[in-house]
Amino acid sequence: RVSSDGKPPKFQPPPKPVIIDRKTRKEERRFLSPEFIPPRGRTDPLKYYIERKDMIQRRKVFNIPEFYVGSVLAVTTADPFASDKSKRFVGICIQRGGKGLGATFVLRNVIEDQGVEICYELYSPRIQAIEVLKLEKRLDENLTYLRDALPEYSTFDVNMKPVPRMDQEEIPVNKLQVRMKPKPWSKRWERPKYNIKGIKFELPEHKMKAAQKWSQPWLEFDMLREYDTSKIEEKIRKELSEELEK
């Protein structure tokens, strides 16, 4: 570079920083709550559309965070019979059921050696706050087998601090294999109908083989049971993103 004679070199501004906008990438893979997906049936889609409008109205006023079965939540509800008119319950989400406004989730915790489960309705006006203390997934969609597992797997500290989580797209999957109490259990979890991967079965080999007698390997190929939700999900996602931006 040749400097000009006698004068200081011309001021070169520093190169502009390249800003990679990650927001557009995030919106592509957003989480869609399972209660928005309508069940398979012959009801008029207008009914689900109206319900979704009500659900979006509620979500605008009250924030329902993203959570999965297996994450630890703390829920504060309004109760006229509690001190300070509100009560807080911490627990692990065992199952999420129901579609539309009646969507529920069950939280389980063991307090003073007593297992307690509470079924909350997501869109109930009595709920004042939902906090996700630990966001993670487990190997199964339904953790009802925790009732027959050793109580240490369902105990969570009531004053647990929320686990800090960076705004990544990956949700950690906890591959914990739970140890069970001795049989009898409330349901025969070793049977292939439940398809549970999160239990460490310490049963003898012949019992595990005998349980496979009830397997129905033709079920996964049954075409009448297929329900492809990808297109419905995309439509609902578009609808949601439009309505929530208003």
Partner 1 sequence: SITGACRAIQKLTRVRVVDNSALGNTPYHRPPKCIHVYNKTGVGKVGDKILLAIKGEKKKALIVGQKMPGPTMTPRFDSNNVVLIEDNGNPIGTRIKTPIPYTLRRREGEFSKVLAIARNFV
Binding site for partner 1 (CB under 8 A): 77, 79, 81-82, 87, 89, 104, 111-121, 124, 126, 147, 184, 186
Q: Which is nearer to partner 1, 25 or 183 (CB)?
A: 183
Q: Which is nearer to partner 1, 119 or 160 (CB)?
A: 119
Report the interhelical angle of 230-245 vs 45-61 (nearest 10°): 40
Shortest approach of partner 1 to residue 30 CB, angstroms?
A: 28
Shortest approach of partner 1 to residue 115 CB, angstroms?
A: 3
**What are the phi and psi torsion angles at 183 (to 5°)?**
-65, 155
Tell which residue, 206, 185, 205, 183, has the closest CA to residue 194: 185
Tell which residue, 140, 4, 121, 151, has the closest CA to residue 69: 140
**What are the phi and psi torsion angles at 209 (to 5°)?**
-70, -40
Shortest approach of partner 1 to residue 107 CB, angstroms?
A: 10
Q: Which is nearer to partner 1, 73 or 236 (CB)?
A: 73
Shortest approach of partner 1 to residue 57 CB, angstroms?
A: 21
Compute the Cα dihedral for 130, 106, 193, 139 and give only its sign: positive
Q: Which is nearer to partner 1, 70 or 91 (CB)?
A: 91
